[in-house]
Each structure stands twice: as structure tokens, then as C-alpha cells.
Amino acid sequence: MNTKLLGSSLIISGTALGAGMLAIPMVLAQFGLWYGTLLMIFICFGTTYAALLLLEATVKAGGGLGLNSIARKTLGKGGQLISNGLLYALLICLLMAYILGAADLFGQMASKLGIEITNTQSQVGFTLISGLVIAAGTGIIDKLNRALFFVMIASLSATLVFLMPEFSANNLARVINNDHLELIKTSAVLFTSFGFMVVIPSLVAYNHEATDTQLRNMVIVGSLIPLVCYLCWLFAVVGNLNPTQLGELKGVGDLIAAFEHHSSWIGSLLAVFTGLALLTSFFGVAMSLYNQNRDMFNKNRVVTYILTFILPLIGSLFAADKFLAVLGYAGIILVLLAVFVPLAMVYKLRQSQSAESAERYTAEGGKPMLVFSLLFGVFLLASQLV
């Protein structure tokens, strides 16, 4: 895998990691390590296969900067309209969540430095400045994301090392909440934590010279890195926090504060890590929305910049302290967009594919795996309705 493809895998990983590293301890730790691990692996497998279906649809449809072109070529104008509506709702919800998380984190960091800034100031500043990186193009995002990702992994590794002395193996078998129905209800948030599929059209266009096998490996590697990081982080949280602390986790600041009593270094490292996790996720999601707007409206960078960031910023200003709630809404939309839409695209393409498209990448598993993907989507929707 060349550096460009590796960078693209890290964009996939970084897009997923932001929400999950913050949300997973808050929603899973109470149910115990083993049940949480099994559910996370199942969600990762289903999500990765759905991403491979979208990859198949993208390469067979001839690609495009955003989902708009692919939906038009595979599902017609009606499918294009539905896909665009779902995509905009999803990306705006995700950007709102990342802006909210970043504002909370930056506010805490500024306070430690003796600088008092309001949530509104933090949200506006973060959105406007990071948005400039998105407008610079995918190549710039790739190079910056690589550097940020390696710093993020280094800070996570250092945090885990600092936490090892107080790690309690007895905590791993502890279950605070035995309600398995409540565990299943967390599936939408977990699915959102692996929600990197929105970047695939942009990355296929960016890696236009890559083979189908290389693109497939790019997706798989990009999806496995978040799984490993999530499992390590979940082990660390469950092994180091007591039941009272786990029950009090409501936001990013609470998560950092819960670990600060171990060492002053841990608070700083964790602040760096969570900040970079949010930033890399913001880059991936914002890149998808920016390219979708370019694909749809074909405007210059200034107009596209405004179209991309104004609604998420306004939404975040009106949704203070709703980080997990916004992720839950995004999870429901993501199921429809990232499971059922690619499934419909691939089904239609396979029904009417030409000899040329038949030679392009086809997701493994045939019809049985298409049925699995359908049932996976139904499971995720049902988890929000029970």
C-alpha cells in the first residue's frame, strides 16, 4: 500500500475515531467489557461490509466527488433526491456533534490557561478555522491528517501506559447494567462510531489511479484501525474507573476529569488525544460535505465553504450539551444512508451490469451477504424502536 492509499486509510480511520472515542466509554462501559466487545465487533463487521458495497457501487458507477453523482447513475432522480436528503441530514448532524465536542474541549483547555471563552466563541472559532483546511483540498487534508493521526495514536499509547499501574483486572468482569435490551439500544451510536462510509466517494476520486484491490484493502485497513483503538480504550476505561465515575460520564470534559486524579500528565495527553480525534473526524465528514456541495452546485470555493459550514454551525449553537443525543439521531440516518442505499445501488447494478462493470470490484459473499446486510440494517433500526 503506497503512502497515498495509507493516508486515505487514515482518513477513513480518523473520520470514525472522533465520535467513538468519546461516546463508546459513555454508552458501553456500564454493560461490562465482554458484551460491549462482542457488540462492537459485530457492528464493525456489518459496517465494513456496507462500506465495501458502497465501494462497489462507486467504482462500477464511474465514481464522482460525492454520493450525488453515484446515486444519480444507479438509482435515478428519485434515489438521488432521497440519498442527498439523507446525506445532508447525516453530515450536518455529525458536524454539529463534532463542533459541540470541540467547543467543550477547547473551553476546558482555555480555562486551564486562564482564558475564559464562551461556548459560542469556541464553536465559531473552531468551525471557521478548521473549515479553511477543508477548502484547501483533499491532498492537504490527507497530508495534515497523517501527521495528526500519528500524534493522536502516540498520545493514546502514552495515556494507556500511564494508566497501566492502576489498571484493575477485576474491573473487566464488572457489569453495572444487566439490561441487554439497553445494550442493544446503543447500536446506533456504535454504528455512528464506525461511520466513515461518507468519505469513500471522495477517496476513490482522490486515488483514481489505484486498482480495485488496493481500494478494497484501503477500506478494510481503515475500518480495522478504529476497532483496535476502541477496544484498547474501552479496556482502559473499564479497568481504571469505578462504577460511580462510569455512571457520571456525560461529556468530553467529564471523561478527561475522571482520569486527571491519576496524573496531571494524563489529563494533558487525553486532552490532546480527544482534540485530535475530534479534528480528524471533523476533517473527514466536512470533506465529504464540501465535495458533495461541489458535486451538486458546482460553485467556487468561497460559496462552497459557506454552504458547507453555515448550517452545522447554526445547529450546534442551538444544541448545546446534546453531544450524545445528536450522535443518536445521526446513527438512525446513517443506517438508512450507509446500509440500505448502497444495498439498493449494488442490487440494481448487479441486475443490469454490463460485461465491463462485471470486471470491476464486487463485494465478497454474493447474495447471502446481501441478505446479511439487509438484516443488519433492520437490526440497527429495530434497536432504536424497541
Res 252 pLDDT > 60: no
Percent of the chain with pLDDT over 90: 13
Burial status of residue 375 (CB atoms within 10 A of its CB: 0-12, 13-18, 19 or more): exposed
Determine the pLDDT at residue 244. Answer: 64
pLDDT in tens, 318-375: 766 565 566 666 667 778 888 899 999 999 888 887 666 677 889 999 899 999 999 9
pLDDT in tens, 10-59: 888 888 876 566 667 767 777 777 888 888 899 999 999 999 999 999 99
Domain that holds residue 306: 3-383
Average pLDDT over residues 253-279: 72
Determine the pLDDT at residue 18. Answer: 66
Count of structural domains within the chain: 1
Res 384 pLDDT > 80: no
Residue bearing the bigger pLDDT, 107 or 184: 184
Determine the pLDDT at residue 114. Answer: 76
Determine the pLDDT at residue 19. Answer: 59
The H helix count followed by the E strand count for the chain is 17, 0
Determine the pLDDT at residue 370. Answer: 94
Distance (Å) of CA 6 to CA 37, 38, 213, 311? 26, 28, 14, 32
pLDDT in tens, 154-204: 888 887 887 777 776 666 666 666 777 778 887 877 887 887 888 888 888
DSSP assignment letter at 176: S
- Is residue 126 within 8 Å of residue 299, measured between CB atoms? no
Percent of the chain with pLDDT over 70: 83
Grade residue 263 by pLDDT with cuts at 50, 70 and 90.
Answer: low
Average pLDDT over residues 77-94: 84
- Is residue 226 within 8 Å of residue 209, measured between CB atoms? no
The CATH number that applies at residue 46 is 1.20.1740.10
Average pLDDT over residues 113-128: 79
Alpha-carbon gap, residue 200 to 206, rounded angstroms: 10
Q: Where are the beta strands (DSSP E) in 36-148?
A: none
Grade residue 255 by pLDDT with cuts at 50, 70 and 90.
Answer: low
Q: What is the mean pLDDT of the chain?
A: 80
Cell numbers at 138, concatenated: 483533499
Determine the pLDDT at residue 328. Answer: 61
Q: Is the dihedral of CA 129, 131, 134, 136 positive or negative?
A: negative
Grade residue 86 by pLDDT with cuts at 50, 70 and 90.
Answer: confident
pLDDT-wise least confident of 30-34, 124-128, 247-251: 247-251
Determine the pLDDT at residue 45. Answer: 94
Determine the pLDDT at residue 221. Answer: 93
Which residue has cell 454539529? 96
Grade residue 261 by pLDDT with cuts at 50, 70 and 90.
Answer: low
Grade residue 262 by pLDDT with cuts at 50, 70 and 90.
Answer: low
Alpha-carbon gap, residue 82 to 337, rounded angstroms: 9
CA count, 13 A, side-chain hemisphere, 22: 31
Dihedral (Cα; 344, 348, 353, 357), 10-degree rounding: -20
Closest CA to 105 of 322, 273, 271: 271
Contacts of 176 (CB under 8 A, 6+ apart): 29, 30, 31, 32, 243, 246, 247
Res 123 pLDDT > 90: no
- Is residue 344 within 8 Å of residue 200, measured between CB atoms? no
Contacts of 384 (CB under 8 A, 6+ apart): 185, 187, 188, 328, 331, 332
Alpha-carbon gap, residue 201 to 187, rounded angstroms: 25
Biggest distance spanned by C-alpha atoms of the chain? 66
Read off the amino acid at residue 295: D
